[in-house]
Amino acid sequence: MRKIKAATIRRKGGPFQIETLSLDEPRPDEVLVRVVAAGMCHTDMVARDQLYDVPLPIVLGHEGSGVVEQVGGGVKKVAVGDHVVLTYMWCGHCKPCLRGDLTYCENFYALNFGGTREDGSTATQDASEPIHDHFFGQSSFGTFALIHERNVIKVPKDAPLELLGPLGCGIQTGAGAVMNALKVNPGSSFAAFGGGAVGLSAVMAARVAGAAIIIAVDVVPSRLALAMELGATHTINSRETDPVEAVREIIGGGVDFTLESSGRPAVLRQAIDALAIRGTCGIVGAPALGTEASFDVNGVMTTGKRIIGIIEGDSKPDLFIPALVALYMQGRFPFDKLVKFYTLEQINQAAEDSEKGVTIKPIIRLVS
């Protein structure tokens, strides 16, 4: 057993508590990672607040980056000393996984939100009881994380490791939604409904993809200003104007693609209504389980609009995360402009700043 320092959630709504816990040694297919930093994502708060049925107590964190400390005997993917980003978990043996649809794994919910390995075991405990872990296969709000080799992604050592964790979830969700799922193409038009980390990642990806019109919709002026800096051609403050009408003033007939990342049903309706004929709306916002939304059925049917759900940007992480790192290193995907760093002891402040919109993408440093 190895002693680690980690942030746990023990009751609905938190707070995060910094504790000393014990962590198992790696199994043959597992990798022990010394976590350098971990991004904080809206989904961490969804789990903290029990909007999803996540067992407690648990160590959260699912955007980790770090250095491989130890590998199990059967691991071939990485070696001790490699720099890695930690991403979501998939089973590898269900029908969607076998056909390459990793983000739609039949066991996705259990593996990423169930708080255990696939066999139901945990690797973390305090002095008296097991602690749920393996959140998104990693539980990276700790100084060390024990991960299956499947969801460990090797990255170049010349890239800034403490910055890269958010590529494992939030950043790849926004960028992948544009590049992989919606397939935004050169000369097309795109609108991001929501200007958080996911929406602004989508804006950057739309610029990389060559969209001619890129619209950011949000209610926070500072986020809209940043969107312009990151590649938006237009912004809309939806607190001050009807965003659907504003989109149609920018481009008559509506946009080819929209992405809804706020998780609000009313905003999803706006994203659908703002589409052009044969346009596509992608949904990545995560509301409470059971949330329902409405739309004009004839308005969708008679215009050939499409509404698609997107998980983790339809990403194949072993390919997509290194591609995003390369784009960042070339100066074409400056997601560093979204982040602010916090210490582990400041994790509750990071969560508060994120929820208030003060910080777009908090990153928790696990080493000083």
For the cut 70, the answer to whether the pLDDT of residue 193 exceeds it is yes
Query: What is the rounded average pLDDT of the residues 200-226?
Result: 97
pLDDT single digits (tens) 231-240: 999 999 999 9
Cα separation of 309 and 27, whole Å? 35
Q: Looking at 276-280, 327-331, 354-358, which range is the least confident one?
A: 354-358
Hey, how many other C-beta atoms are within 10 angstroms of the C-beta on 327?
Answer: 17
The CB-side HSE value for 78 (13 A sphere, CA atoms) comes to 30
What integer pLDDT is reported at residue 288 of this predicted model? 85
251-277 per-position pLDDT tens digit: 999 999 999 999 999 999 999 999 999
The predicted model gives 349-353 an average pLDDT of: 97
8-11: long-range contacts (C-beta < 8 A, 24 or more apart)? 8/57, 8/58, 8/59, 8/131, 9/47, 9/48, 9/56, 9/57, 9/58, 9/59, 9/60, 10/56, 10/57, 11/56
Q: Sorting pLDDT into bands at 50, 70 and 90, what band is 289?
A: confident
Residues 6 or more apart in contact with residue 364 via CB below 8 angstroms = 7, 37, 38, 39, 40, 61, 141, 341, 342, 343, 344, 346, 347, 350
More confident residue, 287 or 317: 317
Mean of pLDDT values over 28-48 = 97
Q: Are 220 and 200 in contact (CB under 8 A)?
A: no
Does residue 368 surpass a pLDDT of 90?
no
pTM of the model: 0.96
| Mean pLDDT of the region 38-52 | 95
